[in-house]
Structure 1
Amino acid sequence: MSTNKLEDMFDDVPRVSVSKYTAAIKKTLEGRIPPAWVIGEISNLRSQSSGHLYFSLKDPGAQVPAVMFRGQASRLGFIPKEGMQVLAFGEISVYEPHGKYQLVVREMQESGEGRLFKEFERLKRKLAEEGLFDSERKKPLPLLPLKVAIVTSPTGAALQDFIRILKRRNWGGCLHVFPVKVQGSGSSQEIENAIRFVNELGGYELLVIARGGGSIEDLWAFNEERVARAVSDSSIPVISGVGHEIDFTLGDFAADVRAETPSAAAEIISSAYIETMDRLEVARHGLHDSLVDVLAEHRRELERLGRALKSVSPISALERAFLRLDELNTRFGSAFRSAVYDRRNDLRGLERRLRDQDVANRISRLRERLDRVGRRLDRSLVERVVSLRSRLDVAGATLRAISPEATLKRGYAILRDESGAPLGSASDAKKGSKIAATLRDGRLALSVDEVELDQGESGGN
């Protein structure tokens, strides 16, 4: 019979401390067991004041301790309860001081025995392999969408939040709501039909599908294959604003842009609008200032032209032409009478000299001289008349060029009041009075609706 001690039987087995042994277990478990989705029922739920959740996940065959730290727990879209069936994603960790392993939960969803999640993963892989989620298929969003269609429940909070954000940001576009059921029987069919109907209608720059947060069962309509394909087939850019930040649906992957919430979708739509409106406002102020400067310059130019116009107005020119014509007529008459008077005096002197000399010779010489004088007088008179006639023609042409008729032909009009007197100033007209405008080819009867005087003028109606 052997007398060896029990410990002598295990001489070849290493001896380690508890700490090292636990560390080896930790390294082995954490290094070889990858993160996974674990389906189970919550039990022994404890919520600490720190915000951390401690519980166990169990099924009929086993249970595993679990912890969910405050950062992840605060983002849950539901309140965990004792006995609730959940789908938890996390990794194994060993808490060395107690030698205890536990599941560190990073994300958790209510679960219907994992069937929906498995179906979600299957459809996601299938559609991804077909290329429905490829970035090359994504369409760019319009820079400034002003005609937007939204497919959502007309009574849900998602629509109200969406509209509230657009109103708060003063979005100035047109929003059309296409009402659908967003969960329950037939909801996916309604969503698909609405997306395809919006595309058939045309005219929309952007399509939004929206729903508030919820469990995977609540959001399942947006995970249906028919909805994902309708989103992918849309010729209109699509924003998916379904659920909360942690919720993902197949519609999100198929959409051109995923918004974390319906409110975030509204912010995406209105951001470019706000930026553009701000730029337009700056441009409007700059344009206004430029126009004010231009108008001021034009007003000064008009005032200068007005002063110049007064000096060359048709009436003033006509009056000066009349005066010039009268002057020329008077000078012509005076010159003619003076010439006749001089020639008559010459003839009388010749007659007297004729009487004092030999009549025949004197008459002959005088006749010759008279003939010469007569020819000179004729030439002088003809030249004088031609000269005066030429000046008169020039004056007449000048008069005709500035006459009212010629002025009217250049596009001007003569305004007269009801008595027929010309209007020389806007202040001569009264609001409601009748005036007549004479144009080159007729007359117009006008009614004065308003009288505006230039700056510096007084009076007015």
Structure 2
Amino acid sequence: MPRDERILSPSQLNTLARDLLEGSFPNVLVEGEIGSLARPGSGHLYFNLKDARAQVRCALFKPKSQWLKFTPRDGMRVVARGRLTLYEPRGDYQLVCDTLEEAGEGALRRALEELKARLQAEGLFDPDRKRPLPEFPRRIAVLTSPTGAVIRDILSVLRRRFPLLEVELLPVPVQGEGAAAQIRTQLLRADACGRYDVLLLARGGGSLEDLWAFNDEALARAVATCVTPVISAIGHETDFSLTDFAADVRAPTPSAAAEVLAPDAAALATRLAALQRRLQGAQAHLLRQAMQRADRGFLRLHAQRPQARLQAQAQRLQQARQRLQAALQRRLEQDDARLRHAGAVLRAHHPRRQLERLRQRLDALQAQPRRLLDQRLRTLRLRLQALAGRPQALVATRLQHDALRLRGLVRSLDLVRPTATILRGFSILQREQGQVVRRIADVTLGERLRASVSDGQLLLRVEGCEPRE
């Protein structure tokens, strides 16, 4: 044995081999046919991938196997992605799989995802460029196979929901070589003719290979450039194609597309009935308003007739006459009341009445000194009697003082008497109506006057006036 060689145990050798395999083949894709498939209770999958000359042991553990979109079976051709490692208990190498896809569909799906990502980056699938569907289309074109069940389902739904909708079938192959080109040609021709309100692309379910015609890039671009709105209803609800993303509306199934296109005749009839009721109500309301306006116009015209206007003027004139008569009557009554009041005031201030009052006052004043003198004498007599027992000198002094006061009182009374004034040479000048003349302006030239003197009256006539300087 050479000196630099060392002896390895089987486990050490397996470890070296495992490290070498895992380091050299960390991620590989292997395509082959499934054989010896085993599904133990642990949920793991164990199988062989083989071709005509060799086979490889493979393992797909439970966390990964739960994401499979198909059920593996013996004889199925698949593509496995994973890493090479060594199963040390048996010394066999195996492929620990991360993903497992059907061989043909997996390649197609990868190509589809790459194409979808590229078209999406170009903005071909942007929602902003999609057109809304017409609410009530009149004519639609269905691009599908004339012999499949799809067209029967679509026609059945459309007849049930809206029989008035015109449907034209544009037959096209829906799978196989050259199908995408024929679909594209028919689609562009239908869009260019301008006969249709909506274009419907429809196909039943199938595998990815069956639906591959609708993943054609040229067809997807043609759908996106159509002026007429396009509905894509390809496969089942879980199936997606490029035409679904490029179309204006994607329907999960062809029958669902027919439901979207055709309005419900029953719901539409209910809506029309409601609109008819609203229209009738609005018409009735407008009619009532028009009738009211007509009635008001008739009343205005009737009120503006010459006869009506003359009647209105006559009525206003009569009312004005009545108001004037009432106002005149009230004015006369007020003037009469004022005249009566003025007459009473004049009568109360008549010179004769004033003279009578003056004479009465004079008589009262003439009698008053004598009465006061008698009263004073009685008072003095009483006081004299009360002072009888006092000295004579005090009595005499008191009597002299009282006599002086009495004489002064008599002189004062004589001075304020009108007769005393007349006796002193004065006279009272009066007009014939009895008014006392106080100023030159109270008389006129030629007017007759009366002058009262101590023993009677003098009749005078005004010959001139000499104002005092």
Structure index of larger Rg: 2
Q: TM-score, normalised by structure 2?
A: 0.43
